[in-house]
Structure 1
Amino acid sequence: MRALASVPAAPTAQQIGRAATLALYDELALSPKPGLVTLTDRGSHADMDAQTFMRSLLALRSYFVRIAELGAAGAPFEALEQCGIAAEARMLAATGGINTHRGAIFMLGLLCAAAGALGQRPTPALIRQTLLARWGVALSARAHRPSTLPGGLAARRFHLRSASAEAALGFPTLFETAEPALRTARARGLCTTAARLDTLFAVMAVLDDSNLAHRGGLEGLRFAQASARGFLAAGGASQGVEAAVAIAAEFVRRHLSPGGAADTLAAACWLERLAS
């Protein structure tokens, strides 16, 4: 009698959370990244470096596990939000008040909760469906709250889709751009660095990144998007990283930093890690 194929077990909260921490390191370690902190470069940030990010990562490890546990327990959105607020306080304590991962606390935290709530082997489609089914109404209500954060204020000023609005829609840039871009790059045989770099630029090309709008206004955001489209049209990372290095230098000159794109790349790396 032919043995039945075993069904892959659902990841534990510990595995979900560990994948999130490692994914944030994946994003930090990628280089060159226009305007963003890497292991050897501050990018456009005078107030933080790789050590700042590592302190933040260590402070957030337990948060991703805890919020996955809350998701598995069927916790309401208010409980997830309070968990995130506490994590942000730990991040700021670890970094001396510097915001390294506020966006990732929000985005990856919600994704970890959704993965925990699944109770089965996660796929990108199932994670997105679960996020919207469990907390979509609450996320829509949150998206209508007036923001007091710099990114939220910039999104409202320039009529952009904010991070909260992205969440209320089930993170379309992650699931419709970043995850497919990373998967396709891997299928083409690109190395890890090239695949992640192309994914970052694919996100930069389409995302209403409020970090860019806050730092450079609408002109800065559109410049970043056009630069990303040009990089990809010229062949992307498969043609080498020289073009990315040149773009990075211009981002630093203009004080631009695509933090929202960085968070989305980290989330795509998390999805890939969960699937492996």
Structure 2
Amino acid sequence: MSINYGFCEYISEIAIKSMLLEVAATPKPGLVDRNNSGAHKDMDFYTFMESSASQVYTFYNCALEGLKFEGKENKELLNIIRPIGIEGENKMFNATRGINTHKGLIFSLGIIAAAAGLQHKETKKQKMDIDDICHKVKDIAEGIVSRELGKLDNKDSLTYGEILYKNHGIKGIRGEAESGFSTVRYHSLPIFRELMKGEGNLNDNLVQVIFHLMTITEDVNILGRHGVDALEYVKSKAKEVLALGGIFTEKGKKKILEVDKDFIYRNISPGGSADLLAVTLMLYLLENYS
């Protein structure tokens, strides 16, 4: 079988670009951006630059495994790319000196990269069919919630995500992947597509989309650290920003800066929404190859 290694480079470039553009979008309340480090004391804009740069081979290799895959069911691919993701996490921690900047995104964008490899093997096209990509993601992630979150009773130490699933049934990023990133596919991506047809610049379009995501995302970062009330507070503040026009109006811009200060004071970071913004970007870039 002939392997298109250039395609793997292309997919890695798209994934890294998505990570970089997400963190560069400014202002994002409570999140690291070009203005400040948000609610984070242990990382800044440059930490994210170093972390993103460390993932070049992670996404390259995930795409490559998708291209090479000869199994009967796409869900078999998850166990093949899992060691690649773990190696990517180790590279991230090495680059950031132990700080978790992108663990969730390595998982999300890695699965998308593998799904893109599967599709390219079938079509030989670099312009991706996003509905098919999301269906392939769903196939690859099939059963991941029940396998990884359904047997926690005998585990000694639990992550935020595991605790939330055990106590409240919140599925987090695993559930998003198992749904084929339904939050992105049916909400943020259609909004971003429309915004990109308009006159707004890329930065402002990304900022606007993250507020839409903040109104609907069951953000494990917020739930794990602050609970349900804080998540509802974040959703209400995002709705207030959008009601004022978001970043596209002067009142909206003023409100965004107020919310940023408020979230920093309350130590709230909507990291789940930030991850889904990067997923939105990657899918958009994949379908707009030129």
TM-score, reference length from structure 1: 0.90
Counterpart for residue 284 of structure 2: 272
Displacement of 1:135: 4.1
1:48 corresponds in structure 2 to 43
Secondary structure in 1 matching 2:54: helix
- CA gap of 1:232–1:40, structure 2 versus 1, over 3 A, is closer
- The aligned amino acid for 1:193 is N
- Indicate yes or no: 2:217 matched with 1:207: yes
For residues 79 and 246 of structure 1, what CA distance do their matches in structure 2 show? 45
What is the alpha-carbon distance in structure 2 between the residues aligned to residue 69 and residue 122 of structure 1? 16
What TM-score does the superposition give when structure 2 sets the normalisation length?
0.86
Q: Alpha-carbon deviation of 1:31?
A: 0.6
Distance apart, 1:40 and its partner CA: 3.5
The amino acid that maps onto 1:39 is R
What do you get for the CA RMSD once the two structures are aligned? 2.1
Q: Deviations over 1:127-186 (max 9, x none)?
A: 111222344245653453538222332354344332111111111111111111111212
Is 1:154–2:164 an aligned residue pair? yes
Q: How far apart are residue 13 of structure 1 and its match?
A: 1.1
Partner of 1:252: 264
Aligned to 1:186: 196
- For 2:270, the aligned partner's letter is P
Deviation at 1:11, TM superposition (A): 7.7
Superposition pairs of residues 1-276 of structure 1, within 5 angstroms: 12-74=7-69, 76-119=77-120, 120=123, 121-138=127-144, 141-146=147-152, 148-240=158-250, 241-276=253-288
Q: Deviations over 1:203-241 (max 9, x none)?
A: 110010000112221111111111112211222221142
Q: What one-letter code is carried by the residue in structure 1 that aligns with 2:188? A: A
Q: Cα distance 1:11–1:226, how it changes in 2: closer, same or farther (>3 A)?
A: farther
Q: 1:77 to 1:161 in 2, by over 3 A?
A: closer
Aligned AA for 1:124?
Answer: I
Letter in 1 for 2:214: M
Q: Give yes or no for contact 2:27–2:35 (8 Å, CA) kept in 1.
A: no
How far apart in 2 are the matches of 1:115 and 1:57?
Answer: 20
The offset of 1:86, in angstroms, is 1.1
Q: Secondary structure at the residue paired with 2:223?
A: helix
The aligned residue for residue 3 of structure 1 is none
For 1:85, the aligned partner's letter is: I
Alpha-carbon distance in 2 for matches of 1:157, 1:175: 28
Residues in 1 aligned to 2:113 and 2:186: alpha-carbon distance in whole angstroms = 18
* Contact 1:209/1:221 (<8 A) preserved: yes
Q: Distance in 2 between matches of 1:100 and 1:31?
A: 17
CA offsets 1:32-89 (integer angstroms, 9 cap, x no match):
0011111341100000011211111111111111111111122621111111111111
Distance 1:143 1:73, change over 3 A: farther
- Alignment check: 8 A CA contact 1:35 1:248 kept: yes
Partner amino acid for 2:107? F
Kindly indicate whether the alpha-carbon contact (under 8 Å) linking 1:60 and 1:90 is maintained by their aligned counterparts in 2. yes
The CA deviation string for residues 179-202 of structure 1, in whole angstroms up to 9 with x for no partner, is 111112123332212211111011
Give the aligned residue type for 2:180.
G
Q: Which runs of 5+ in 1 are unaligned?
A: 1-8
CA distance in 2, matches of 1:80, 1:135: 11
State how far apart, in whole Å, the 1-side matches of 2:164 and 2:238 are.
21
Distance 2:194 2:171 in 1: 26
